A and B are shown apart, each in its own frame.
Chain A
Amino acid sequence: MPNIRHVDPRGGDVLLMVGTMKGAFVLCGREGGAWDVGGPYFPGHAVYALACDTRRGQPRLWAGPNSMHWGGLLRRSDDFGRTWTDPEEANVKFPEATGATLKQIWQIVPGRSSEPETLYCGVEPAAVFVSRDGGDTWRLNDGLWSHPQRPRWEPGGGGLCLHTLLLDPQDPGRIRVAISTGGMYVTEDGGESWRPSNTGVRADFLPDKYPEFGQCVHKVVQSRQQPDRMFLQNHWGLYRSDDRGETWQDIANGVPSDFGFGLAIHPRQADCAWIVPLESDEFRCTPEGRLRVYRTRDAGASWEPLTNGLPQEGAYETVLRDALAADTRDPAGVYFGTRSGKVFVSRDEGDSWSPAVDGLPPVIAVKAVALA
């Protein structure tokens, strides 16, 4: 087994939780210093889902390691990764009556501050699980699982995954989820009932290019200050919504490709977002061998390439859907990881970049937290 290192974060540090195909890493960044790397945790396990729950004050890390052999479950750490729970019984599993088996945990989302014991997770096959006791026990959301359209959802390249859960910051009953490939669904009653919500989002791979559902949505983000503002990176298509996701407008203005996975929104500026365009849905690498993050500051009317510090020659990189993140600092930090095992960081909203670490297993998730 590999030698496992640990980090000792303190207030003011940035914590990067990095999920890879072979385990999780915890990076700790201090102003003016190099990044300290903790891990690998869960060596050999694919870690798609990571979260840091700060609702209690003391940060609690969550991870959803998945072993090809032994399956997956949720584990948590209250000491930045030094120790992790290892429940005897798998805490996220489908009721036997569903006939389904858990393939992957894709997303963990701590509930709103008004519901400190609630957590959500999105899984493959596409479903939502909810915990009301701080993550000890989890229950399948029946409303979405029993949706009559569910049998017509199709798996994308990553499987039939529910990868995005957006808890509306103002409306406690409203949650939006995104499924590849099922499109987006919204509940307004806390999960009792769900309806498709994909108006204006294209599905190039279907005979009907604008179906009610079935789009391959790769990532969706929502402004916390102006929740009507959302951005969406589609499997072909880059979109903005100004009405909480009810309708979407194409904003692929001046980007080298409207295909991509990663998407992050500014923590305070609803007009600002970052993407990493990829070339075609076959190649799925950065166009022209240039690693460019694109940023909009005008809600998608225009996008500017950000290249300072990023390789611009022979860089055929891929940034996956959960591997691009922004923190809440001012200016915002922006972070991404690549399938080639690199993690890049920017302390100035993308104006300049530097490598934090190289040589990791393929990166599939990056979560950033500015520690108070």
Chain B
Amino acid sequence: MPFVFVIPGALQAHSGGRSEVRVDGDAATVDAALTLLWRECPGLRDRVLTERHEIRPHVNVFVDGTNVRAAGLAAPLRNHAEIIIVPAVSGG
């Protein structure tokens, strides 16, 4: 089933310049869907996740409008989910 990832501008050098990346495959969880994304765009993985396989503290991943930080990468997905990767509102 397809998923659509929305890629922030700062990372589009690693998505071939695309602001949206559509991936096809089976994924029951956010983690599994992200793994499909890493296959398509390997440069995104280490910029979104830490070595501990956690979403970076100042990155947010929304699935159908809900931040998955609380539910974690094991959160379930529906078919055709939209997954948005955005930088958190932080900085100085």
**Which A positions have Cβ atoms within 8 angstroms of B?**
21, 44, 67-71, 73, 86-90, 93-96, 98-102
Contact = CB atoms under 8 A, between A and B. Distances in A.
B47 interface: yes
Nearest to B87: A69
Contacts of A73: 46
A96 B52 contact: yes
B52 A101 contact: yes
14 contacts: A21-B92, A68-B90, A69-B56, A69-B58, A69-B87, A70-B47, A71-B56, A88-B43, A96-B53, A98-B51, A100-B51, A101-B50, A101-B54, A102-B51
Contacts of A21: 92
Interface residues of B, number: 23
B75 interface: no
A219 to B, nearest CB: 25
A69 B10 contact: yes
A116 B48 CA distance: 33
Contact of A70 (B53, B56, B90, B92): B56
B46 A94 contact: no
B10 to A, nearest CB: 7
Leading 7 A-B pairs by shortest Cβ distance: A88-B43, A90-B46, A70-B47, A69-B87, A101-B50, A69-B58, A93-B51
Given A69-B59, A87-B43, A89-B45, 11 more contacts: A67-B10, A68-B90, A69-B87, A71-B50, A89-B42, A90-B46, A96-B52, A98-B51, A101-B50, A101-B52, A102-B51
Contacts of A89: 42-43, 45-46
Given A88-B14, A88-B43, A89-B42, A69 B50 contact: no
B19 to A, nearest CB: 16
A99 B51 CA distance: 8
Interface string B25-52: 0000000000000000011011110111
A68 B92 CA distance: 10
Nearest to A102: B51
A101 B47 contact: no
B58 A68 contact: yes
Contact of A71 (B14, B46, B88): B46
